[in-house]
């Protein structure tokens, strides 16, 4: 079945460092791919999405590119801030549209 594998955390970075959180997936067909962010005590918020191969999703300085050939959707940001400290989830929606699959989440802490 479909699945999402996400880089284990926790990740600790200094402010202005470069961030990469790896995400790979297994799916039949052409799923849609998402990154969500969860701040402490809150629900998950959509950060960005990509719905077809080679699409790049971007938001708030974060980017991820849908790579069909490597079945990956890695999250990147060039310069992290303390306010980016949160848990990040990679997710896919299968092509038929009825099911979502989530990675286990990666906790990011950014220190000043």
Partner 1 sequence: NAGVTQTPKFQVLKTGQSMTLQCAQDMNHEYMSWYRQDPGMGLRLIHYSVGAGITDQGEVPNGYNVSRSTTEDFPLRLLSAAPSQTSVYFCASSPRIYNSPLHFGNGTRLTVT
Distances (CA, A) of 84 to 25, 36, 91, 105, 109: 24, 12, 19, 14, 8
Q: How far is the C-alpha of 28 from the C-alpha of 65, rounded, in Å?
A: 18
Residue count, binding to partner 1 (CB under 8 A)? 23
4-23 binders of partner 1 (CB under 8 A): none
Choose which of 7, 19, 27, 49 interacts with partner 1 (CB under 8 A). Answer: 49
80-99 binders of partner 1 (CB under 8 A): 89, 91, 93-98
Choose which of 3, 14, 20, 51 interacts with partner 1 (CB under 8 A). Answer: 51
Distances (CA, A) of 91 to 27, 30, 45: 11, 13, 12
Q: Which residues bind partner 1 (CB under 8 A)?
A: 32, 34, 36, 42-46, 49, 51, 89, 91, 93-98, 100, 102-105
């Amino acid at each position: 079945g479909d699945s999402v594998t996400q880089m284990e955390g926790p990740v600790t970075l200094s402010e202005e460092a470069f961030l990469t959180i790896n995400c790979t997936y297994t799916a039949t067909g052409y799923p849609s791919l998402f990154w969500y962010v969860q701040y402490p005590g809150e629900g998950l918020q959509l950060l960005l999405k990509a719905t077809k191969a080679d699409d790049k999703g971007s938001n708030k300085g974060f980017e991820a590119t849908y790579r069909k050939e490597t079945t990956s959707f890695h999250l990147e940001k060039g310069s992290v801030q303390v306010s980016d400290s949160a848990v990040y989830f990679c997710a896919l929606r299968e092509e038929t549209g009825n099911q979502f699959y989530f990675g286990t989440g990666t906790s990011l802490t950014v220190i000043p």
